[in-house]
Amino acid sequence: MFSLEITKDYQELSERAAELVVKQLKKKANSVLGLATGSTPLGCYEQLVKLYKAGELDFSGVHSVNLDEYRGLAAEDKNSYRHFMDENLFSKINIVKEHTHVPDGMEENREKACKDYDAEILSVGEIDLQILGLGLDGHIGFNEPADFFSKGTNCVRLTDETIESNQRFFRSKEEVPREAYTMGIGSIFSAKKILLLVSGKAKAGILEKALKGPVTPRVPASILQFHRDLTVLADEEAASALS
Ligand code: GLP
């Protein structure tokens, strides 16, 4: 069972998502937040920054773990997810930099990168609220369609569809890294609460599959149907294929 909230548009979706984060922080000031990148959570982050600047939010006790990072991109690279988070959220609020965790894209040794990140995730404790976006192929984090659900952090080869969809952030398709480190589905699933944000017509078909179709690693987000505390926030366009 999940709760589905349909909003008029992206703006309303972002405001509602921020409201749910605020609710979480009011309940527990030292919450562990699982954070996502991509265009979808940006509006929510903007709202959180606004509320912080208005003196309504305090992130000093918050810890965060991000879902993923491109393999081969340094923190300073403007396309790295570390840079994205610093730019769009962390540098604009009073979160302690050392409390923020993103996989190390510059660790070449895949096994070590994954082991290290699993240890980081463990060190912050249970994720209280995990924010997720949805890939066009149903991926969450960078867990692409596969034969099985991943448990811990893993190194994935990005699918052509994902590379094409993410090339908008890069100068060319060739520049998009082919691999990424991502938190595993098992770790994502261990979060106490999950908030899935989905916006736009292009996501309507995959959202319907994820929420109404069979639970299968071919549609990684479908596992969320089994979660005990999932809220789906979708705007009208994204929800248009759900009857
Ligand atoms: C990226 C990220 C995901 C994100 C997804 C959707 O590949 N790794 O975490 O949810 O794409 O992105 P967007 O919100 O831009 O559609």
pLDDT digits (tens, 9 = 90+) for 67-123: 999 999 999 999 999 999 999 999 999 999 999 999 999 999 999 999 999 999 999
Q: Which residues line ligand 1 (CB under 6 A)?
A: 36-40, 67-68, 133-135, 141-142, 162, 166
Q: Among candidates 176, 186, 122, which has minimal Cα distance to 150?
A: 186
Closest ligand 1 atom to residue 182 Cα is 8
| Closest atom of ligand 1 relative to the 132 alpha carbon | 10
46 alpha carbon – ligand 1 mean position (Å): 17
Supply the mean pLDDT for the chain: 97
Give pLDDT tens digits for 120-143. Answer: 999 999 999 999 999 999 999 999
Helices (H), 89-203: 110-124, 160-166, 185-189
Half-sphere exposure of 159 (CA within 13 A, CB side): 14
Taking residues 14-43, what's their average pLDDT? 98
Distance CA 96, CA 105 (A): 21
Q: How far is the CA of 135 from the centre of ligand 1 (A)?
A: 5
Q: How do 193-198 and 179-182 pair as beta strands?
A: unpaired
The pLDDT, as a whole number, for residue 23 is 98
Q: What pTM does this model have?
A: 0.96
Q: How far is the CA of 55 from the centre of ligand 1 (A)?
A: 30
pLDDT higher than threshold 80 for residue 243: no
The identity of residue 33, as a single letter, is: L
Q: Which domains does the chain have, with CATH numbers?
A: 2-235 (3.40.50.1360)
Specify the residue with its C-alpha closest to ligand 1, atom 12: 38
